[in-house]
Chain A
């Protein structure tokens, strides 16, 4: 089984639009949405949910007021401002580290499990789909991402499907690291803007760090063709393949409004380009390029 993950560093460069189109072009694959903070792929692929489960991860401190002797040791040792001066737990700040429990002489501080999110499994038009949503302001998005990928891989195995398409989150922190590990290839979607380029460099460094072969695609390239050329130069210097570019096209927004993958919406310039990008990505994925 081959897994392609789509990441970007910067948000809003077009990851989900491109991945949903890949799903349509691939015909049949397993689909995973690893942007557990703000999952949007389901809005284009409309899976029919067959299973839904709570995701439990991480801990939360609770202080038993009856046992508490109000010595204040917990307040002294907590490094996250999660214990208020009147010795209550500030849930939003608590990392669940348990330092309070270690020092509490009255055994009043305990750790309880928290429900950090929910995950869903279902059938979309183009294959089985797994996605998840972190509960608001929760932690452990990396673990939830790992769970989504594990379930998606298991589903691919069960159904004998040879391709896993994974939509990643923006950034380069813990959920992105969890998305990237052991993937066969990462497609980094960027845009010819200073922010896009800045974040592309960091995303590429991350791929190098985790030894995942990367390929780059410039979306909305005609917003600044000069910078697009610079991205090509930069990638050539580091021997990173760049696919054909995708033009700025208002039909992209229209496809999202309609809730369908771009290639299903029409055959405008962006749609045609995405199909070209897919052919190239598919070829390279099968060749198993290594950086």
Chain B
């Protein structure tokens, strides 16, 4: 079973929830797929025992063989390769590693070589299996690193995925293949607007999802109304609390500062698993 935790808006509490769920199970696998800003390890404190570089294949042109026909540049949709009269320029940071240039080359002059864009680290925190990815600073493309994290997915256990914020390709890559997605929101117009966008992503992916209101309080009504209108299950609430914010700020998972939060997260996990098993919305 794979449960992903996502949100349109950043800072709604995805990581707190994902790590909290992993802690209450005591033995799940946690994949931190927010490779631009991986933070789950800061709260789970896993012992990282393995590090594997993530590479994508980029073209290397053999000047001897190249006839400057320009087919590679024509084939490349990302403007990562330009053919001049006497030389071929490659812009590795634009390259998606698709291999179209090599396929298009009639002279067999393009060899693909690995280029590091990030790394995957894995280890354990107690019985919790932990994997996260780290995009190198200055690299634009997160998806290859996310894919590499997800390659560690252990289908025999409950896996929790912490996704990046947003609604674009990094989120799609992270939540793809999950059984259910838990959308964390906050009861403000920002939270609602971004939740609406996140739900559109889930609908497009045909991924069943439910909602968790973090910093719950006064504004909950707008979120409840939205969930009802879309037939989305409201799976729980975490109250607005300065104590939670302070625990978090001190690098402590709030579950240890507020024991009743653990009980709440257990209930949220139960409901989420129920929904996931039913595959219902």
Contacts and interface: CB of A to CB of B under 8 A. Distances in A.
Contact of B9 (A38, A99, A137): A38
B249 A193 contact: yes
Contact of A92 (B96, B165, B176, B188): B176
A40 B168 contact: no
Contacts of A174: 140-142
22 contacts: A8-B10, A9-B37, A12-B12, A38-B166, A97-B77, A97-B78, A99-B103, A139-B168, A139-B169, A170-B36, A172-B135, A173-B36, A174-B140, A176-B36, A193-B249, A194-B39, A199-B37, A202-B37, A248-B242, A256-B188, A257-B189, A257-B218
Nearest to B203: A136
Given A138-B169, A253-B215, A257-B218, 6 more contacts: A40-B194, A170-B10, A172-B135, A174-B142, A223-B246, A224-B250
Interface of B: 8-12, 15, 36-37, 39, 42-43, 75, 77-78, 96-100, 103-104, 135, 137-142, 164-172, 176, 188-190, 193-194, 197, 200-201, 203-205, 215, 218-219, 240, 242, 245-246, 248-251
Contacts of B43: 194
Contact of B200 (A9, A92, A136, A141): A136
A21 interface: no
A136 B204 contact: yes
A98 interface: yes
Interface of A: 8-13, 16, 36-38, 40, 43, 58-59, 77, 79-80, 92-93, 95-99, 102-103, 111, 133-134, 136-139, 141-142, 169-177, 191-195, 198-199, 202, 205-206, 209-210, 220, 223-224, 227, 248, 253, 256-257, 259
Contacts of A170: 10-11, 36-37, 165-166
Contact of A12 (B11, B189, B197, B219): B11
The interface centre, meaning the residue of A97, A141, A202 with most chain B CB atoms within 10 A of its CB, is A97
Contacts of A13: 11
A81 B171 CA distance: 17
State the 3 A-B residue pairs at the shortest beta-carbon distance, nearest first. A12-B11, A11-B10, A37-B166
Given A16-B190, A77-B103, A194-B251, A97 B96 contact: yes
A11 to B, nearest CB: 1
A40 B190 contact: yes
